Amino acid sequence: MRTGISGQTWLSSSSDAGTSEVAAAFGRLANELGNQDAVSRIAPLLERYNLGLFRLVIAGEIKKGKSSIINALLGELNLLPTSNQIATSTVFKIMYGERKTYRVFFLPEDPDRPEDIQPPLEVSSDQVAEFGTEDGNPGNAKRVDFVGVQLPHPLLKSGLAIIDTPGLGGLQEEHAEITWRYVPKADAVFFVLDSTEAPISREEVHMLKRFLKITPFVFFVQTKTDLVEEGAWQAWKERNLAILGSAIGLDSRKTVYFPVSSTIKHRADSKQSSRDFERSGFAALNSFLQGQLMAAKRRRLAGTLLHAINAEAAGMRRRLNDERLAYSAKTKEERDVLQREFSEAKVRFDSWRVGTYNRIATEFQHALSDLKRMKVEFLQDELDPSPNGALIRPVIDRLRAGGTKARDIDQQAGELLAGLIDSCARITLDIQRSCDEDVARLIAETSERVGRSIQTDLSDTPALQRVLAPCLEMRSLNMPFSLFEDARGALFGGMAGFAMVNLAVSLVFPPLSPFSIMGVGAMSFGTVLTYFHMDVRRREEALGKLQVALSDACRVCQRKGKSALDEALTMAERKAGAAFKEAVKAVETELTRNLEIVAKAQSESKQQAQDELLRLGSLLSRTDAVLRAAAAAIGSLDRSEIVHTAPSATLPA
């Protein structure tokens, strides 16, 4: 296996400024303190940082060289099937694996019974074309969901996962749904153009606009620069940038655009020539991918981890400090004072908790369940399956007004069905988005209210202040992020996602849409006659059949969307409620503990007290060391602007 040419360095973890070391030191400390809770809270973040998957989606029209780019990037000439004749017809997911393998994953026969599927089938590289190309598997008769490819390659090992999509715009229509399934979860989308067929077309502009509505992380690659003179492909690059500017509003100075040649890259690999590597354009692309995109994601994950460690370590420090305070009180009087303080604090807190705080918490729950009800109802209304609804009526009207022949209606049925499912997916996604925003805002507002209430109601109790403020800072909880990642996964979990034998591959990119055309479309339209009769009556028949099929599909989408959204929001409710409860409980525990410590300190001898003080002192300084290291690591993470395409982008979690 090639590791690439000289001058090409793979991402190394040392660029993350010692995050791993900080995490290790923290782990040791927590274990010594017997604080398993802290360890278990940090563990998932640490895992995500270590696994650190970067999801790259390759999209674009047919025969632009998408599969070739991936082969070239990984230095494997025949990894994915490419040829003049065959076209990729299914999704390929490429990840790290010890051994080069191809596994075919199938769709279930019945979309309502997702557990009932053929298990994944391992195939040889010769057999891949039989499942993954239009020639080998026409019309996806073999019901392939995707092909999972594993390759022992350092780039993949450093966290890259690539999705190769079937091209859009060919004579087969079904390939379009990938847009909705994979683009939203992508960390970056490479939109592929070429240097031989034509500059950007209307359809590609249309496609890009859709992509950019979903994610700002869209970058451009122009392939086949070896097939034409430099003047020509440069001119096309200029032209494409101009079109992107005028049609989509992208600033050409900020648009990331790589002209490349996959052929020359392969040559660079076999000749180990850095000149060829430069000329292939992959040097720039690689450097951007690893040096900026992947590194940025890594830094983001590192940042999240370090901040969490920081918060936990700060908590630990505070508790240690309180303990030391208890032990350093020399006289009984001082300890009595401390005891009184802590008791008072506890009492004050309890009354605040059952009073003001309880009120706020209840209001929060109500607001959340109102939101849930509203959103689910809204979804139900939007995905209206009735013939006169906004989704279906215009389609039928248009066909009728245009005098479309019955035969054409039949021919276009698949397309129209796909379009409807498309719309449903888009609407659901939008609602999901707005849910995310609303819930996040609600949580933030509530946290703020609690915080203010603490300020006003409990500010006169210093002991309380010290304990309360950090505990109730909801932002330090890892809930908003991981919850919605999970929710998205559940909402759009899809059929193949869950009952998998090899979970790792499928969960890397849980398919976004449960509305697979293969399932819904086939069953509704399967028995339609091939030829219709000629006159108006027959057109009406055809329209009738079409409308029934569309309604059915819409109903399925509605049902699934509703139940998934409901589930996700219910889970949000539960988790949010639990999170608040936990925070409160943590405070209580600490207050109780403080009292216990004072009592313990009372009962011990002077000598024991001395030893304890020393022990606490050393633990404190270790904690301080961890805090310093974390702060240093956070500080050294480059805070530069993350590269993205649209000027008004919101960053993903």
Partner 1 sequence: MIPAPIFGYVDQKAALLKFAEQVPALLLRHPLTAHLSLRVAELDFAEALQSRFTVAVVGQMRVGKSTLLNALIGRSLAPVGVTETTATVNWFRYGEGAICNQFRAHWTDGSTEDVPLARVGEWLGQADNAWRTRALDFFAPSDFLRACNLVDTPGTRSTIAGHEEAVQSFLAEVLETESLRHGGRADAVVYAINPVARRDDSNLLRLFGERTRLPGASAYNSIAVVQKWEHLRPDPMQEAQRMCERLRGQLAGKVAAVLPVSGLVGLSCIELPATVWDQIAHLAAGTPQGVLDELMLAPDYFRDDVSDAVISKEGRTELLSQVSWPVLAFAVWMARARGIASGEALHEALWDAAGIDRLRTLLQERFLALAGLIRAGAVLSKARAPCATALLMLREVREGQSALEERARASHEILARAVAKDKEFGPVLAYVEGSLQSVQAEARLAKEVEEELDGIVHRAEREFRLLERDVECLRWLDALWHEAALEELAPEELMELRRLFGQAGPEIGERLGLAASHTGADALEAALGALERWSRRQWRVRGELQSVLEHAVERLLPIINWLDEKP
Q: Which residues bind partner 1 (CB under 8 A)?
A: 61-63, 84-85, 87, 169-171, 173, 196-203, 205, 225-232, 235-236, 239, 243, 246-247, 261, 263-264, 267, 279, 405-408, 410, 531-534
DSSP string, 504-564: HHHHHS--S-S--HHHHHHHHHTT--SS--SSHHHHHHHHHHHHHHHHHHHHHHHHHHHHH
CB of 311 to partner 1, least distance (A): 51
Instruction: Say which residues have a Cβ less than 8 Å from residue 12's Cβ, sequence separation at least 6.
Output: 158
Q: Please state, in angstroms and rounded to a whole number, the distance separating the CA atoms of residues 243 and 455.
A: 55
Q: Which is nearer to partner 1, 175 or 297 (CB)?
A: 175
CB of 411 to partner 1, least distance (A): 9
Query: Between vectors from CA 224 to CA 222 and to CA 229, what angle results, nearest 5°?
Result: 100
Q: Which is nearer to partner 1, 61 or 76 (CB)?
A: 61
Q: Which is nearer to partner 1, 85 or 640 (CB)?
A: 85
Q: Which is nearer to partner 1, 197 or 350 (CB)?
A: 197
**Structure tokens that stand for 615 in this block:** 């022990």
Q: Please state, in angstroms and rounded to a whole number, the distance separating the CA atoms of residues 427 and 513.
A: 12
Q: Which is nearer to partner 1, 534 or 651 (CB)?
A: 534
Encoded amino acid at 59, one letter? A
CB of 406 to partner 1, least distance (A): 6
Encoded amino acid at 350, one letter? D
Q: Please state, in angstroms and rounded to a whole number, the distance separating the CA atoms of residues 527 and 405.
A: 19
Encoded amino acid at 75, one letter? G
Q: Which is nearer to partner 1, 40 or 246 (CB)?
A: 246
Q: Please state, in angstroms and rounded to a whole number, the distance separating the CA atoms of residues 209 and 203.
A: 10
Q: Which is nearer to partner 1, 141 or 171 (CB)?
A: 171
CB of 196 to partner 1, least distance (A): 7
Encoded amino acid at 325, one letter? L
How many angstroms from the chain centroid is the CA of residue 279? 34
The closest alpha carbon to 590, from 293, 242, 319, belongs to 319
Judged on CB neighbours under 10 Å (0-12, 13-18, 19+), 66 is buried
CB of 402 to partner 1, least distance (A): 11
Answer yes or no: are the C-beta atoms of 481 and 653 closer than 8 Å.
Answer: yes
CB of 121 to partner 1, least distance (A): 28
How many angstroms from the chain centroid is the CA of residue 462? 42
CB of 74 to partner 1, least distance (A): 21
CB of 302 to partner 1, least distance (A): 40
Q: Which is nearer to partner 1, 108 or 259 (CB)?
A: 259
CB of 41 to partner 1, least distance (A): 52
CA atoms within 13 A on the CB side of 137: 23
CB of 60 to partner 1, least distance (A): 13
Q: Please state, in angstroms and rounded to a whole number, the distance separating the CA atoms of residues 345 and 124.
A: 69
Q: Please state, in angstroms and rounded to a whole number, the distance separating the CA atoms of residues 287 and 611.
A: 55
CB of 497 to partner 1, least distance (A): 30
Answer yes or no: are the C-beta atoms of 539 and 413 closer than 8 Å.
Answer: no
Mark residue 335 as left, alpha or beta (left: phi above 0; alpha: psi -120 to 50; beta: remaining). alpha
Instruction: Say which residues have a Cβ less than 8 Å from residue 81's Cβ, sequence separation at least 6.
Output: 67, 88, 128, 129, 132, 133
Q: Which is nearer to partner 1, 164 or 410 (CB)?
A: 410
CB of 538 to partner 1, least distance (A): 9
**Tokens 């500059």 belong to residue:** 199
Q: Which is nearer to partner 1, 61 or 269 (CB)?
A: 61
Q: Which is nearer to partner 1, 36 or 411 (CB)?
A: 411
CB of 125 to partner 1, least distance (A): 20
Q: What is the dihedral angle through the alpha carbons of 340, 343, 344, 346, rounded to the nearest 10 degrees?
A: 160
Q: Which is nearer to partner 1, 200 or 395 (CB)?
A: 200
Answer yes or no: are the C-beta atoms of 193 and 163 closer than 8 Å.
Answer: no
For residue 532, the tally of other CB atoms under 10 A from its CB is 18
Q: Which is nearer to partner 1, 269 or 436 (CB)?
A: 269
Encoded amino acid at 235, one letter? A
